[in-house]
Amino acid sequence: MADEGTTVVVGGDRGIGRALVEALAARGRAVGVVPSALDLADADAVRAELAAAAGDGAMTTAVLAHLDPAGFVATPLVALDEAAWDAAAERSLRAAVVVLQQIHAVAPDGAAVVVVLPTVAGVGVPGLVPLCTAVEGIRVMAKALARRWGARRITVNTVEVELSAFLLGDDEPGAGVDLPSVPVLGSPALPAGSVAADVAGLVDLLGSADAAGLTGALLAADRGTVMLP
């Protein structure tokens, strides 16, 4: 069980973020939400929302579970104009920069930061070049921050879920229906289960003293599907 404190989920109003909020609450966690609808490139707004979402408690765990929905609409790269490329790739990268900067400003020493991403960039998915670009950029950004923030005992780890699970329960454009399949070698090794519960368990673990020595890691909550690297 994680230490006392609030877990704030950025992007906790949709997809895996929303499901994660429910699963964490079911585990008895105090949970706050920063909605994806917020302009996540607005540093002041993000910082204020983080502080508000933490409520009276300290934000001991912060989860970034946001990627721009435009990235999930499968489109050949040559069919993307510059605005579409920006929406599908670079907007998510900019949001990650700002959100992670503000998490660092608000989080106390010893906090846990968890970045939730879909398992697309490790293998590459045709039709989703912008999404794969953003996801790998954010994943290694998290590793660089793990190295930077260790002196404050802040851990930064990444949890990846299957592509369709990232959009779980959403009715965003492209969600769940038109997604290309991720090239993998086989079916999940483990029987199907609740992705949200799987991720909530890992978030709880990463926010606990038991995981105080784990940072810069990639954990795949995909029941043994991709198994990379």
Positions in the binding site for other proteins (CB under 8 A): 41, 76-78, 80, 82, 85-86, 89-90, 93-94, 97-98, 100-101, 104-105, 120-148, 183, 216, 229
Shorter beta-carbon distance to other proteins: residue 77 or 197: 77
Least distance CB 79 / other proteins (angstroms)? 9
DSSP 182: P
Least distance CB 77 / other proteins (angstroms)? 6
Least distance CB 143 / other proteins (angstroms)? 3
Q: How far is CA 156 from CA 68, 126, 181, 190, in A?
A: 21, 29, 29, 26
220 strand-pairing partners: 160
Least distance CB 74 / other proteins (angstroms)? 10
Least distance CB 22 / other proteins (angstroms)? 30
Residues 6+ apart with CB under 8 A from 189: 223, 224, 225, 227
24 close to 65: Cβ distance less than 8 angstroms: no
Spatial distance between the Cα atoms of 37 and 116, rounded to a whole number of angstroms:
18
Shorter beta-carbon distance to other proteins: residue 76 or 213: 76
Closest alpha carbon to 24 in 159, 214, 138, 127: 159
Least distance CB 91 / other proteins (angstroms)? 11
Shorter beta-carbon distance to other proteins: residue 21 or 120: 120
Spatial distance between the Cα atoms of 205 and 184, rounded to a whole number of angstroms:
27
Spatial distance between the Cα atoms of 192 and 220, rounded to a whole number of angstroms:
14
Shorter beta-carbon distance to other proteins: residue 139 or 223: 139
Spatial distance between the Cα atoms of 15 and 66, rounded to a whole number of angstroms:
9
Shorter beta-carbon distance to other proteins: residue 69 or 130: 130
Neighbour-count burial of 2, counting CB atoms closer than 10 A to its CB (0-12 exposed, 13-18 middle, 19+ buried): buried
Shorter beta-carbon distance to other proteins: residue 181 or 187: 181
